[in-house]
Structures are given as C-alpha cells and as structure tokens.
C-alpha cells in the first residue's frame, strides 16, 4: 500500500494542515540532506540470530568490556579512568558515540541529535557535580552550598516561546486568552505539585528526586504509578484545556508519551523532581550548542583510546570465569572475540534478549516490559533566521513550541553562543506517540520526513523552505524508555539491574526515565559494582 503526500502529512500533522500544504503545492525540495546515524539495519543484524564464528587467533583478553557508548557506558569508562583502572574496552555499534545524547557539527555550527539540556543538579548529587567541576563548567558554590554554573552555560533568556493562532508568546504555558477558571486551575495544579515537592517519607526521602533511585518507595507515592497522568489530573478536577496541553507537552517532551499513557508518577516526577522546595522555581538548565553532546564528548575524551566504534557486540556469552563477547566490525566484517572477566551491558535493556546467550535461549519475562518509543529529529540548516511576522511577536527563543502541533517544536543551536543574526541550525523533534509509531517512522524516507518537518514549521514560518539549505534527519527507532502506567514501580527495574553472572547492567532504561542523570547514575553504579568484585 502506498501513501500519498496528503496521507502522510495528515497522519503526522492532522488534516487541516495537510490539506493546506497540498493546496499550496510546495512539496518540491531544493535542498540537500540525508538520513543519518542510528542504522536500523545494524541493529537488526542482532535479530537475525546468525551464528558468528570467531577465528581461532582473533581472541583477546580484557578486564572489563563495556557494551554501548551512550551516556551510561561512557560514564562507566570515565569512572574507570578516574580510579586509575585501565583494563577495559568500550564497544559501540554506531560510528558515532553518545546514543541519544549524540551531537553533530558542520560549517561552524554544533547541534544536538537528541538530549540537549541538563537541569543544574542539587548539591546531594555529588558525583554529577564532580563531573561538572572537572569539566570546568562551574564557578564555585552559593551560600547554601549549591553549585553555581558559569553564566555562559546557564540557559540564556529568552528560554521558551509558544506559537498559538498565528502569534508567538513568551513562555511554554499559554497565558494569552486564559479564563479565570484556567487561572484557578493552574494555581490548583501548582498547589498539588507543591504538596509533592515538600512531601517526605518516614526516612526523610523526597517523593520525586534525581536520580530515581533516591525517590521514596512509600506506597503513597508509588500508587501514583498505577494511574495515568491524565487520570490523576481529572481526579484533581483539572480539566483546563491549556493546562492539559501543558502537561501533555511535558509527557511528549520528556517521555515521548501522551498524557493518557504516561504514568502519573512519571508526570509528577517531571514537574517536581527539579524543584528544591515549594514556592521556589524549578532548577535552571545548563545547555550547549551541541546539547548533551558536551558531556558525551568530554566523557569520551577521557577514555578515547578505549573506545571502539562500529563494533557490534553480536553475542555475549557468560562463562565460568567471565564473559565472552563476540564482535562484528560493521565495516571490515571482521569477527573478533573478547574474553572479559566482567562486562557492563550499557545498551538498551530490550536488546539483552538478542545478545546474551542465556537470554536468547530463555528470555526473562521482565525484559519484555521495557518498551521504547520512536522519534525523529531533524536538523535544519538555515541561511537566515525566520523573521517575526508581527512586531509584537515574542522573539526567537532557545525552545520554540507550536501549540497546535504534535511535534515538540525546535531548539536553536546558536542560542547559547550569542550569535543572534544570520544562519543557524534548528533542531526539530517529533515523538511518535502511537503504538505503531516505529514501523510508521521507518517506512518514511528522507524526503517525506523533511516535508513533514517543513510543513509543520511553515505554520509559524511561511518562508522556512526558502531559508533551509539542508536537512539531516535521525530516525530513532528506540529513542526513549516509556514510563507508561504500571511499569516504573512494578518491580521489573529492580530485576533488570541485578547482575547476571558476570554481566552488570547500566542504562537509563533501568530508571525507567530517559535522562542523562539516570544514565550517569547507572554507569557509576555498574562501575562501582565491578570494583567491589574484581
């Protein structure tokens, strides 16, 4: 079955925009670009259950093999180096490291391919703060002992703006045109959040804090995981359309899920975990032109001699004395074997069933509970920035969100540099929130995805096609773990992080929330587990 342009645009952006776009007949594409990275074919080699025979003389011995070069795996490598432990290797199947924190650069611009900011951690997150200090991103502590991030790395104002019915407004919550009832409900929502921000369990733990491992497991909190965020809002009598939109946006932005599929625990985690106490603003962000690629590149730089890219671990075989890892070089097609004493499995959890021999033969049920959603991210190279349509429009911000769009809008890679004129790179995010999102996404080619992105942005920027000189697109088949209802506190996370023989697990999946802080936490945890056992 083939789809027309209208079918595709309708399915991604809704019928009215699809009709308008098809009427104006501007589907001709005069610019260049490609689908980059996240090679689905590579990943699918794993599923073919091919048998890979390692030649006799192609084995090497190593202390620890880290499988996966995303934030968790790189954190483990960084920790090893920091502790003076050198006997390790990191295998990454892609030709670029970073996983969903990857970044790119060209023509003097750096831009993210996925994660692109980090809230400033609380002082309790000492390990993460030590990384930030090591990276020279900080300038001391404030009077209450909280870390102070250098001004140039704190998100520059204006942070966000929202496009609604032809105009841009300040902020992410749409204030314009709100009724007294909307105002009341927003205040009520804030009151509910404040209750949870100040809530402590018998042990003095917060309900919501980063990393997730430090959150209270009191049933009063974990019960929130059994209902959707949408249900929770309705339970509190919150039905304001713009408030629901705001919460839905939060779910799509942080989890790639809709309000009705996100667990209420996860929804509240988003709003509460970065607020020090009630009445205080949420922690400010730090961001970089390359997004969280900043952390990735730094971490990788501390262990660059240990990183092997384009190395697909095709089978992981626990043995009596350690772990054997069989690697397939995606370029040379060479098959190598590694006898490791320990392994850190720092790849998405669901892949364990395709890689670990015992799991292949006898898949543990809990692993199937780890579901991911798909995204596509487009980097638009612009020769100039779109002009404001109206002089009262709020100006270009870091994060630019379209109220009427199912996408997440775009972030501006030059925002933090202070380069406020001329060319830029806009990074556009579209989460596939439906069940069959992945198949739908992978069925579309570069041209079709570019068209979706440009048609969507043309709502706010009618001349976006003329300004665009290139679009590169990343299709993330498995972008983020989905914290849907009855997942986070069902016990599967605990099972999945238990070491299996000599294999230790490290990934943000194990927190059930796809955040850098979580990947960092699990990378450190796995590295420390290994230190204790070596």
Partner 1 sequence: MINRTPLLFLNVIIIATCGLIYELLAATVSSYVLGDSITQFSLVIGIYLSAMGVGSWLSGFLDKDLAKRFVEIEIAVAIFGGFSAPLLFLTFASVSYFSIILYAVVFVIGALVGLEIPLLIRILKDELDFKKLIARVLALDYVGALLASLMFPIFLVPKLGLTRTSLVFGLLNAGVGLWGTWLLEDLIKKRDVNILRIKGAVVVVLLLIGFIKADALTSLAEDSLFVDNIIYTKTSPYQRIVVTKGKTGYALFLNGNLQFNSFDEYRYHEALVHPAMLAAGGSPKRILVLGGGDGLAVREILKYPSVETVTLVDLDPEMTALAQKFPPLAQLTNNSLADPRVSVTNADAFVWLDSSDAQPFDAAIVDFPDPNNFALGKLYTTRFYNLLKQKLAPGAAVVIQCTSPLIARNSYWSIIKTLEASGFNVKPYQTTVPSFGIWGYALAKLEPFEIPKQVPKNIDLKFLNDETIASMFEFSSDTTFPTDHEIEINRLDNQALVRYYEAEWRRFE
List of residues contacting partner 1 (CB under 8 A) = 151-152, 154-158, 284, 384, 395, 417-422
Q: How near is the Cβ of 141 to partner 1 at its closest, in Å?
A: 17
Separation between Cα atoms, residue 534 and residue 527, nearest integer Å: 11
Cβ proximity to partner 1: between 48 and 151 the closer is 151
Separation between Cα atoms, residue 327 and residue 315, nearest integer Å: 7
Cβ proximity to partner 1: between 47 and 387 the closer is 387
Q: How near is the Cβ of 61 to partner 1 at its closest, in Å?
A: 48
Separation between Cα atoms, residue 206 and residue 218, nearest integer Å: 10
Separation between Cα atoms, residue 195 and residue 19, nearest integer Å: 46
| Residue 428: both structure tokens together | 């556009």
Separation between Cα atoms, residue 80 and residue 275, nearest integer Å: 32
Cβ proximity to partner 1: between 140 and 418 the closer is 418
Separation between Cα atoms, residue 390 and residue 193, nearest integer Å: 36
Question: What is the signed CA dihedral for 4, 5, 7, 8, rounded to 10 degrees?
Answer: 120
Cβ proximity to partner 1: between 181 and 420 the closer is 420
Q: How near is the Cβ of 294 to partner 1 at its closest, in Å?
A: 17
Cβ proximity to partner 1: between 154 and 366 the closer is 154
Cβ proximity to partner 1: between 86 and 384 the closer is 384
Q: How near is the Cβ of 285 to partner 1 at its closest, in Å?
A: 9
Q: In angstroms, what CA-CA distances link 340 with 82, 323, 348, 355, 498? A: 20, 5, 20, 15, 19
Cβ proximity to partner 1: between 28 and 151 the closer is 151
Q: How near is the Cβ of 158 to partner 1 at its closest, in Å?
A: 6
Q: How near is the Cβ of 153 to partner 1 at its closest, in Å?
A: 9
Sheet holding 424-432, edge to edge: 32-36, 468-481, 372-382, 424-432, 410-412, 399-402, 160-164, 167-170
C-beta separation of 309 from 300 below 8 A:
no
DSSP at 225: G
Q: How near is the Cβ of 412 to partner 1 at its closest, in Å?
A: 12
End-to-end CA distance of the chain: 56
Cβ proximity to partner 1: between 170 and 448 the closer is 170
Query: 500, 501, 502, 494: which is closest to 522 by C-alpha?
Result: 494
Q: How near is the Cβ of 414 to partner 1 at its closest, in Å?
A: 10
């Amino acid at each position: 079955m083939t789809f027309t342009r209208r079918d595709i645009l309708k399915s991604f952006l809704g019928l009215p925009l699809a009709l308008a776009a098809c009427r104006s007949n501007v589907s001709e594409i005069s610019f260049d670009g490609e689908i980059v990275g996240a090679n689905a074919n590579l990943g699918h080699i794993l599923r073919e259950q091919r048998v890979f025979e390692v030649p006799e003389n192609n084995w090497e011995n190593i202390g620890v093999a880290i499988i996966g070069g995303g934030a968790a795996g790189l954190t483990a490598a960084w920790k090893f180096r920091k502790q003076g432990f050198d006997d390790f290797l990191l295998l990454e199947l892609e030709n670029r490291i970073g996983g969903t924190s990857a970044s790119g650069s060209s023509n003097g611009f750096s831009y993210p391919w996925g994660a692109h900011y980090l809230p400033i951690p609380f002082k309790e997150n000492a390990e993460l703060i030590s990384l930030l200090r090591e990276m020279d991103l900080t300038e001391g502590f404030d009077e209450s002992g909280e870390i102070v991030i250098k001004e140039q790395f704190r998100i520059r104002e204006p942070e966000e703006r929202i496009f609604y019915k032809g105009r841009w407004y300040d902020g992410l919550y749409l204030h314009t045109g709100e009724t007294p009832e909307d105002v009341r409900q927003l205040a009520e929502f804030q009151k509910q959040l404040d209750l949870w921000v100040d809530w402590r369990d018998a042990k003095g733990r917060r309900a919501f804090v980063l990393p997730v491992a430090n959150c209270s497991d009191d049933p009063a909190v974990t019960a929130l995981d059994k209902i959707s965020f949408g249900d929770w809002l309705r339970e509190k009598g919150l039905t304001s359309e713009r408030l629901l939109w705001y919460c839905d946006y939060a779910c799509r932005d942080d989890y790639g899920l809709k309000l009705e599929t996100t667990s209420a625990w996860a929804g509240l985690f988003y709003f509460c975990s970065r607020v020090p106490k009630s009445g205080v603003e949420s922690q400010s962000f730090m961001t970089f032109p390359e997004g969280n690629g900043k952390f990735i590149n730094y971490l990788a730089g501390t262990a660059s001699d240990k990183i092997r890219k384009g190395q697909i671990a095709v089978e992981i075989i626990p043995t009596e004395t350690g772990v054997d890892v069989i690697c397939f070089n995606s370029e040379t097609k060479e098959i190598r074997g590694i006898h490791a004493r320990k392994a850190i499995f720092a790849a998405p959890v669901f892949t364990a069933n395709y890689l670990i021999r015992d799991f292949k033969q006898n898949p543990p049920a809990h692993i199937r509970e780890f579901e991911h959603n798909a995204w596509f991210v487009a980097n638009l190279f612009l020769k100039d920035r779109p002009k404001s349509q109206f002089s009262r429009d709020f100006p270009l911000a870091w994060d630019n969100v379209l109220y009427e769009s199912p996408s997440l809008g775009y972030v501006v890679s030059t925002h933090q540099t202070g380069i406020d004129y001329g060319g830029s790179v806009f990074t556009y995010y579209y989460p596939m929130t439906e069940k069959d999102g992945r198949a739908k996404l992978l069925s579309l080619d570069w041209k079709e995805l570019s068209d979706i992105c440009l048609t969507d942005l043309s709502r706010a920027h009618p001349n976006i096609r003329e300004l665009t000189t290139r679009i590169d697109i990343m299709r993330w088949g498995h972008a983020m773990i989905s914290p849907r209802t009855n997942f986070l506190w069902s016990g599967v996370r605990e099972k999945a992080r238990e070491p299996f023989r000599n294999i230790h697990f490290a990934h943000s999946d194990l927190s059930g929330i796809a955040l850098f802080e979580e990947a960092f936490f699990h990378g450190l945890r796995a590295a420390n587990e290994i230190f204790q056992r070596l």
